[in-house]
Structure 1
Amino acid sequence: MTESRCGYIAIVGRPNVGKSTLLNHILGQKISITSRKPQTTRHRVLGIKTRDQIQAIYVDTPGLHRGQKRAINRYMNRAATTSLRDVDVIAFVIEAGRWTEEDAWVLEQLKNYQCPVLLVINKVDKLEDKAELLPFIAARNSEHNYAQVVPVSALRADNLTALEQTLDAYLPEGPHFFDEEQITDRSMRFLTAEIVREKITRQLGDELPYAMTVEIEQYKLERGVTHISAAIYVERDGQKKILIGKGGSRLKSIGREARLDIEKLIDGKVMLNLWVKIKSGWSDDERALRSLGYDDE
């Protein structure tokens, strides 16, 4: 009989390399929100995948970045680095054909940890000349002794099975920590707030890059319908006007997209109410961050 295995795999990298997309495709379900804007992921999110005797617990982390100007940036870096303390293996995600100063900085941080580091080269489908991949891998291997190098395309789900099998080999023998049906450690309230934030980021990423957050004020099931009230916090009146849009059009569009995704997530009917509120300076106020759910996990 095969021994059961269970362990933690941290997915790390600079912002916008496709970490959340990678996790969602591995799980076959969306639990981490995605957008083209850097730093979309703000919290540590566990994604749990149980296959036969193996339970892989993926830790999706905010993108590690050098800029720590505001409290929220410092929070995201703390969330990412504390997630690395007790993991069994690290999947360091970079973009094919692109090595930046930020990537080099992340690599320096990873040298502080004892566990094996796999280099996951994402977005290989975007390489126009596939012959560039081998010299790119050779250059990366000359900088650090990676346990293994695995090229993938998270978006197209290319080579993900091979990546999973490679990572599984580093998981220790032992009992499973979570029920085999469980897919994340996060609550429905959290996932709902994240879906609303994703829709805002996708529609208004340029106008409201980091000055917005979402808090669920009500979440209850009544006669087969889930009633959700969400407060969207911005820092200034001008941002509130942008978010609401002409005649409330932008807010309605965000609400419609979010409701459809939430209905898919919970497999049921949803009544979603969105409110926009001003909380000036929340993103640079440690106390305000904690009250809005940005606590060190």
Structure 2
Amino acid sequence: MTEKPYRSGYVAIIGRPNVGKSTLINRILGQKLCITSRRPQTTRHRILGIKTTDHAQLVYVDTPGMHSDGKRAMNRYMNRAATASIDDVDVIVFVIESLRWSDDDERVLKRLQNDADKPVILVLNKVDKAEDKAALLPQMEELAAKYPFAAVVPVSARRGINIEQLEAEVEKLMPEGEAIFDEDQLTDRSSRFLAAEMVREKLFRHLGQELPYSLTVDIEQFEDDDGMFRISAVIYVERSGQKSIVIGKKGELLKQVGQDARKDMEDLFGCKVFLQLWVKVREGWADNERMLRNLGYNDDL
């Protein structure tokens, strides 16, 4: 019996905002790496999630959602990060929401039609929410006529439906080659970066509709104190009125954000965490290219 060849490579997870790309990567990895919320544009950076098995290493690239709004520097940065990911991978996974097709979905497809020169798998996510399951097949056939997809796979990232089938389809398309990263490595991002993302996720989940897009998180201190991580994070907002909203009445909202973020950090890092949060005003940070770079929004990451 011929031994199965080892395969390795990069997989870009692309799609419009809020279709479940980060949830899909977390499900594939079997643990939480990418932050999620019900709000679009939660993901701002490209993040690698590394899945290593006995016969393959698949490096999944979580990308910001592609969208038409390019008015602010932050939005332009996210579109660049998402678009660049298509150029540097071996396989593309295009995620849409089952039984739904939007102008932003069409825009992503046009980008693939114009520039993609590698195999593309179409994923119909959130099939658990589809009331009319019989309508899935016509949608799959209709979309398959729009583009020569290597495979079309209906899944539920939230429920874990058909995830193994998707992974098998991705692996089949991967080139043969040795592992790119150490077998126990989960991501290319630092613990410092992941800590900031966890704080930002909790802010997205606890705050109102607009405010999350006006804030970012910067880790000022990250120290290993005899097996306990001491972390100090600054939450930057754009206006002074937003500062009081983030802090909340008698500091309750900020306290809750800190408690929730600390728990996630302890789960991921596997140790006790002492977390301090501060809120500061930095006007116009989200529309200033230089400030964005200083806060870690770099195109080369």
What is the TM-score normalised by the length of structure 2?
Answer: 0.97
What is the aligned partner in structure 2 of residue 114 from structure 1? 117
| Structure 2 residue matching 1:261: 3-state secondary structure | helix
| Structure 2 residue matching 1:20: 3-state secondary structure | helix
Distance in 1 (CA, whole Å) between partners of 2:111 and 2:76 is 15
Mean Cα deviation higher: 103-112 or 11-20: 103-112
What is the aligned partner in structure 2 of residue 83 from structure 1? 85
Distance in 2 (CA, whole Å) between partners of 1:237 and 1:216 is 20
Q: Which runs of 5+ in 2 are unaligned?
A: none
Aligned partner letter, 1:14: R
Is residue 203–residue 212 contact of structure 2 (8 Å, CA) maintained in 1? no
Q: How does 1:189-208 map to 2 (within 5 A)?
A: 189-208=192-211
What is the aligned partner in structure 2 of residue 71 from structure 1? 73
Mean Cα deviation higher: 18-27 or 142-151: 142-151
Deviations 1:121-156, CA, capped at 9 Å, x for gaps: 000011101111111112211222211100000000
Query: How far apart are 1:23 and its partner, in Å?
Result: 0.1
Aligned partner letter, 1:212: L
Question: What is the aligned counterpart of 1:18 among 13, 20, 31?
Answer: 20
Aligned partner letter, 1:8: Y
Distance in 2 (CA, whole Å) between partners of 1:260 and 1:277 is 23
Distance in 2 (CA, whole Å) between partners of 1:123 and 1:134 is 15
Whether 2:244 is the aligned partner of 1:241: answer: yes
What is the aligned partner in structure 2 of residue 212 from structure 1? 215
What is the aligned partner in structure 1 of residue 226 from structure 2? 223
Query: How far apart are 1:267 and its partner, in Å?
Result: 1.2
Distance in 2 (CA, whole Å) between partners of 1:86 and 1:71 is 23
Q: How many residues in Structure 1 have an aligned counterpart in Structure 2?
A: 297
Query: How far apart are 1:226 and its partner, in Å?
Result: 1.0
Distance in 1 (CA, whole Å) between partners of 2:29 and 2:208 is 26
What is the TM-score normalised by the length of structure 1?
Answer: 0.98
Aligned partner letter, 1:274: L
Aligned partner letter, 1:279: R
Q: Percent identity?
A: 59
Q: Which runs of 5+ in 1 are unaligned?
A: none
Distance in 1 (CA, whole Å) between partners of 2:150 and 2:229 is 46
Query: How far apart are 1:223 and its partner, in Å?
Result: 3.0
| Structure 2 residue matching 1:110: 3-state secondary structure | helix
Distance in 2 (CA, whole Å) between partners of 1:283 and 1:272 is 25
Deviations 1:87-115, CA, capped at 9 Å, x for gaps: 11100000000000110001111121100
Aligned partner letter, 1:87: V
Query: How far apart are 1:2 and its partner, in Å?
Result: 2.5
Question: Runs (4+) of structure 1 moved beyond 4 Å?
Answer: none
Is residue 227–residue 271 contact of structure 1 (8 Å, CA) maintained in 2? yes
Deviations 1:15-56, CA, capped at 9 Å, x for gaps: 000000000000001110000000000000000001112000
Deviations 1:206-236, CA, capped at 9 Å, x for gaps: 1413100000000001133211000000000
Whether 2:56 is the aligned partner of 1:54: answer: yes
Query: How far apart are 1:205 and its partner, in Å?
Result: 4.2
Is residue 235–residue 277 contact of structure 2 (8 Å, CA) maintained in 1? yes
Is residue 37–residue 205 contact of structure 1 (8 Å, CA) maintained in 2? no
Query: How far apart are 1:180 and its partner, in Å?
Result: 0.5
| Structure 2 residue matching 1:66: 3-state secondary structure | coil
Distance in 1 (CA, whole Å) between partners of 2:253 and 2:193 is 23
Aligned partner letter, 1:58: Y
What is the aligned partner in structure 2 of residue 159 from structure 1? 162
Query: How far apart are 1:66 and its partner, in Å?
Result: 0.9
Is residue 25–residue 155 contact of structure 1 (8 Å, CA) maintained in 2? yes
| Structure 2 residue matching 1:8: 3-state secondary structure | strand
Aligned partner letter, 1:65: H
Deviations 1:65-94, CA, capped at 9 Å, x for gaps: 111010000000111111111211100000
